[in-house]
Structure 1
Amino acid sequence: MADYLPKYFRGPKPNITVGAGGITGGKLLEHDGTVTAAGSKTVIGVAGHDQVAGKAVTYFPLPGNVHRLMAGTGGVTAGDLVKADAAGNVVTATSGTDAAEAIIGTALTTATATNVAEILGK
């Protein structure tokens, strides 16, 4: 995706050092600077641009911001609670199966897999 800007954002844009493997702009980011693991409970935001391992990347925190994120397998439906998948995309969280800490926001729009959905970060 290269450079990324959320639909709506307020607040500072912090930086983090990218972990192993590098990061792609627009992908969900873990607290250690790597692409998210499926159902991660430590998602901190969305990478603002591509970056290689060991370099700083600017990211956009999730809470209270509207992000445009790619839907993973199965897509998402407006109103769904969403979580991260292993590729740094969003998928529908399963009620009763996924931990509340893994939910990163609510889908504001519907999107099929590999299309962009608007997500209100939690």
Structure 2
Amino acid sequence: MADYLPKFKPGQAVTLTAGATAVVGGRLVEVSTASAVIPATADSAKVVGVAGFDAATGESVTVYTRPSGVHRLVASAAIAVGAKVIAAADGKVATIGAGTNPVGIALTAATDDLDVIDVLFI
């Protein structure tokens, strides 16, 4: 077999396109179509990372990919330190509860919607 090098390494920034919905910087994004992302939806299994900045539909956006790194993410409700978190609506994060697709572990706590917390990707 010939030598192989990955196109991108885990945790690197990659450039994708904002898909059918604009994305917000600092929020989770999921793959929607080939090389395109949209804001992550609740308990999405398609989360690829965090948008580096706001991007309108069709614009290029930097995405900091999973599965490594600590990211400052927006909570959708209260989250305890150490809780596993999943994607929530609009690219926010929520406590896993009955969800099945964890994206990280809360390193700091949130007390309310729109609080920004540190999350270690898993």
| 1:38 matched to 2:42 | yes
How far off its partner does 1:84 sit? 0.6
- Residue type of the alignment partner of 2:89: A
- Residue type of the alignment partner of 1:35: P
**Which runs of 5 or more residues in structure 1 are unaligned?**
1-9
| 1:105 matched to 2:108 | no
Name the residue aligned to 2:73.
Answer: 69
Name the residue aligned to 1:90.
Answer: 93
In 2, the alpha carbon distance for the partners of 1:88 and 1:106 equals: 16
In 1, the alpha carbon distance for the partners of 2:90 and 2:52 equals: 16
- TM-score, with structure 1 as normaliser: 0.83
Query: Which of the two has higher C-alpha Rg?
Result: 2
Question: Where in structure 2 are the equivalents of 1:17-32 lying within 5 Å?
Answer: 17-32=17-32
Task: Return closer, same or farther for 1:22/1:117 CA change in 2, 3 Å cut-off.
Answer: same
How far off its partner does 1:67 sit? 0.4
How far off its partner does 1:115 sit? 0.9
- Residue type of the alignment partner of 1:109: T
In 2, the alpha carbon distance for the partners of 1:64 and 1:12 equals: 9
| 1:49 matched to 2:16 | no
How far off its partner does 1:11 sit? 4.6
In 2, the alpha carbon distance for the partners of 1:12 and 1:85 equals: 23
- Higher share in strand: 2
Q: Percent identity?
A: 37
In 2, the alpha carbon distance for the partners of 1:53 and 1:64 equals: 27
- Residue type of the alignment partner of 1:110: A
How far off its partner does 1:20 sit? 1.1
In 1, the alpha carbon distance for the partners of 2:108 and 2:16 equals: 29
In 1, the alpha carbon distance for the partners of 2:90 and 2:96 equals: 15
Name the residue aligned to 2:7.
Answer: none
